[in-house]
Amino acid sequence: MKRRFQIQRALTWPLLAFVLSGCGEKLPSSGPIFFEFKQQPGDKYVYKVFDEVGWTFRDSTGKIYDTVQHVQEQKSIMKFTGIDSNAIRTVDLSFMITMDSLLSAAESSRWKKRKSPIGNKYEFELRMRANGAIVAVNSARPGLTLFYETAYRPSQPIFPANAIALGYSWSQSFKVNVPQGEPGAVEAEYKFSALEKVGDFDCAVIEFKSEVNYIEAFTPREKCEVSDCIGKYQSRTLSEGKLYFAYREGFVVKKINLLTANSEAMITQGGATKTISRAQQRDQETITLLAIYRSGGEKLTFAID
């Protein structure tokens, strides 16, 4: 069961996002701005994702039995494939691992013996409104869908229906489907905190902070002494960062996100519940725009630090 817990939690973290770097001068303040995404069918956006990830795994006594730290780079492609009569865009989103470097791991860790993840690809289909609301997330694996909805959907704001001024704050709450559990709860806060130049783009800086809590059931394979043994994962994920949005062009240029998660695997038998293992994870992500391919054949490339 312990190994299954390690593997399932590990799969939940080496991916995603939408970002750009190279923030420079502040722009003069302006009046209220109306925010919306403006990508069109046939457009393709290419991003570089840089991840610094660390895990700590503990047993029921709190003793550390495994640790790992690594850095990873991914190439992320967002392809806008269509827009329906309700102005909902369909987006094919993929992440392919292009570099992975193990910095450290426990001497007994299975991480040192793992097969290289380079070349692994993760794919999603999103349905998204112009205001940023994610209507649906689909992937071939329910675990990946849950990962996107808990780790990345909270960092994408649903923009207000009206133009907003610098300093404006808002919040949103929503539920996410959990494959083997009740819907998880998401609480997120956003603030239009600044205007900055990022490369050639005039960007609005949107600060975000969110918390996701959910419980997922599993069937214990060991440590059970009675037939009514029940297993549950309890997970809490915090996300905090900044989104740099090119408000004239209508797309994300940069995103910086710090994700921290705490998970527990518990079993209940004979009316008593006990924790059998815990996992802590810290994931610092930076995503930068590399290129835009327009439906008419135009290609735009960017060199942003």
Task: Give the model's pLDDT for residue 62.
Answer: 86
pTM of the model: 0.84
Q: Taking Cα atoms as reference points, which of 103, 89, 101, 98 lies closest to residue 122?
A: 98
Domains observed in the chain? 2-294 (2.30.230)
Q: In three state form, how does the secondary structure of 136-171 look?
A: EEECCCHHHHHHHHHHCHHHCCCCCCCCECCCCEEE
Task: Give the model's pLDDT for residue 29.
Answer: 57
Task: Give the model's pLDDT for residue 269.
Answer: 76
Task: Give the model's pLDDT for residue 233.
Answer: 87
> Would you give per-residue pLDDT tens digits along the chain (305 residues)?
444 434 344 433 333 333 333 344 555 556 899 999 999 999 999 999 999 999 999 988 888 888 899 999 999 999 999 999 999 999 999 999 999 998 777 776 777 777 889 999 999 999 999 999 999 999 988 888 988 988 889 999 999 999 999 999 999 999 988 888 888 999 999 999 999 999 989 999 999 999 999 998 887 766 666 567 788 889 999 999 999 999 999 999 999 999 999 999 888 877 778 888 899 999 999 999 999 999 888 888 887 76
- H or E stretch covering 272: strand 272-293
Q: Give CA–CA dist 13/6, Å, rounded.
A: 12
Q: Give CA–CA dist 295/165, Å, rounded.
A: 33
